[in-house]
Amino acid sequence: MMEPEHTNQNYPNPNSEIDLKELLGFLWEGKKLIIVITVVFSLCSIFYALSLKDYYRSEAILSISGDSEQSVSLSRFSGLASIAGVNLPSTSAENKGALVQETIKSRAFLKHLITFEGILPSLMAAKTFDVKAQALIFDDNKYSVKTNTWVRKAKHPYQSIPSVLEARKEYLGNMVISQDQTTGFITISIEHISPVFAKNFLDLIIREVNALLRQKDLRESSDALEFLTTEISQTSLIEIKSSINQLIQTQLQTQMMARINDDYILRTIEPPFIPETKSKPSRSIIVVLGAMLGGILGIFWILIRHYLLGTEKHDAG
């Protein structure tokens, strides 16, 4: 009887060692090709990195203003206020933070921002930044500084003057806004090829969102006061009068805070600044990654040429 063959897995497979030596030999023979491909990719990545624009990030840290104690004390009047159509102060800083974030990202708010001089061209037609003059240089094929007119040739559905929807892509693409769930602080940053514009634009955003929400609350509180004043004169129930008086007091306080505070919703903890160093791109990383990609592709090409093309030639022979 023939004894079954037993394979001892503790001993190394000699074929694997031969294959590894053979593999290293193939790579060593093709080292010149690998070096050439790596150099080509490195040069391409250098030219690509140099072609990218420098972007600068300005950042601000903000807090949500509001009296939480007053909001809690007024929560018992929420039923009456909802019937009367009166808005009480929010009971949560997160709600106000969400309102601020969505307002800043909204199309209506951007439409308001681009009414200010230079905002739309700086977003959509900026070409380079003159460091010495600290001024933006615009693309003459898009916007004429001499005549302050748009000259770009746009295809349907776009027009010569960028629309709000088109500008919003650039607007949101250069903005990062978030709220810390623990502290409630809002961090907002703007990136642009001009560090001066990034700072000034962020200042404008903070100022105008405060102004917009202040005007909204003033308008709503004025309408509420007019309604409550009429209602209190038409009721004889003491409890309802007391509740309406409390609501009137709330709306008067809202009016007072809106009129005396410029930082009505957002209070600045860390104001926007003019950045001194670029935030992106990281050219050294781009070059290193390009060289690594070239080396990997070179190795793959050597292996493919040997194991696939080489096998085909061997079979054909």
Query: Residue 208 has what pLDDT?
Result: 94
The percent of residues in the chain predicted with pLDDT above 90, rounded, is 33
Confidence of residue 107 (pLDDT cuts 50, 70, 90): very high
- Is residue 117 within 8 Å of 178, Cβ to Cβ? no
Nearest-10 crossing angle of helices 31-51, 283-304: 150
Type of residue numbered 311: T
User: Which pair of tokens denotes residue 45?
Assistant: 């990545």
Whether the predicted pLDDT of 6 surpasses 80 = no
**What mean pLDDT is predicted for residues 66-91?**
48
Confidence of residue 94 (pLDDT cuts 50, 70, 90): low
HEC letters along the chain: CCCCCCCCCCCCCHHHHHHHHHHHHHHHHCHHHHHHHHHHHHHHHHHHHHHCCCEEEEEEEEEECCCHHHHHHCHHHHHHHHHHCCCCCCCCHHHHHHHHHHHHHCHHHHHHHCCCCCHHHHHHCEEEEECCCCEEEECCCCEECCCCEECCCCCCCCCCCCCHHHHHHHHHHCEEEEECCCCCCEEEEEEECCHHHHHHHHHHHHHHHHHHHHHHHHHHHHHHHHHHHHHHCCCCCHHHHHHHHHHHHHHHHHHHHHHHCCCCCEEEEECCCCCCCCCECCHHHHHHHHHHHHHHHHHHHHHHHHHHHHHHHHHHC
Query: Residue 37 has what pLDDT?
Result: 85
User: Which pair of tokens denotes residue 220?
Assistant: 């709503």
**Range with the lowest mean pLDDT among 75-84, 142-151, 272-281?**
75-84
The Cβ of residue 253 has, within 10 Å, a number of other Cβ atoms equal to 14
Whether the predicted pLDDT of 11 surpasses 70 = no
User: Which pair of tokens denotes residue 73?
Assistant: 């004390």
Query: Residue 194 has what pLDDT?
Result: 94
**Range with the lowest mean pLDDT among 20-34, 87-101, 179-193?**
87-101
pTM (global) more than 0.75: no
| Residue 270, φ and ψ in degrees, nearest 5 | -120, 110
Query: Residue 317 has what pLDDT?
Result: 46
Confidence of residue 27 (pLDDT cuts 50, 70, 90): confident
Chain segment 153-209, per-residue pLDDT in tens: 888 888 899 999 999 999 999 999 999 888 889 999 999 999 999 999 999 999 999
Query: Residue 310 has what pLDDT?
Result: 57
Whether the predicted pLDDT of 283 surpasses 90 = no
Cα–Cα distance between 267 and 264 in angstroms, integer? 7
Confidence of residue 131 (pLDDT cuts 50, 70, 90): confident
